[in-house]
Amino acid sequence: ETGVTQTPRHLVMGMTNKKSLKCEQHLGHNAMYWYKQSAKKPLELMFVYSLEERVENNSVPSRFSPECPNSSHLFLHLHTLQPEDSALYLCASSQTGTGGYTFGSGTRLTVV
């Protein structure tokens, strides 16, 4: 148990579907992150939330929509995705100023 829980672990969705990824942390951290990990590519930082406010959005397409209702929960809402969006989506949390992140196990997303 890493302290950061992601659900679901695996998701297959069609290009016209709407789905959401969920992340929950039990560590009392005040920052949360979404990363995308694609085969043979570096980790891509997508979104950063600090104290429940989005502080970074790295030119992510609008078909990805994050939501952070409180400091323990983070969602990634997915709508009309493309096959190239298939990847492992990783959530992480941290206490700002300490540098170290705790990652969840990820959601393996396949868009068909």
Partner 1 sequence: GNSVTQMEGPVTLSEEAFLTINCTYTATGYPSLFWYVQYPGEGLQLLLKATKADDKGSNKGFEATYRKETTSFHLEKGSVQVSDSAVYFCALSDGTGANSKLTFGKGITLSVRP
Secondary structure letter of residue 44 according to DSSP: E
Q: Of the candidates 7, 57, 96, 110, which one interacts with partner 1 according to CB under 8 A?
A: 96
Question: What is the number of other CB atoms lying within 10 angstroms of the CB of residue 80?
Answer: 14
User: Does 50 sit near partner 1 (CB under 8 A)?
Assistant: yes
Residue type, 81: L
Strand segments, DSSP code E, in 43-85 are 44-50, 53-57, 64-70, 73-79
Q: How far is the CB of 25 from partner 1 (least distance, A)?
A: 12
User: Does 75 sit near partner 1 (CB under 8 A)?
Assistant: no
Q: Give the residues lining the site for partner 1 (CB under 8 A).
A: 2, 4, 6, 31, 33, 42-43, 45, 48, 50-51, 55-56, 90, 92, 96-106
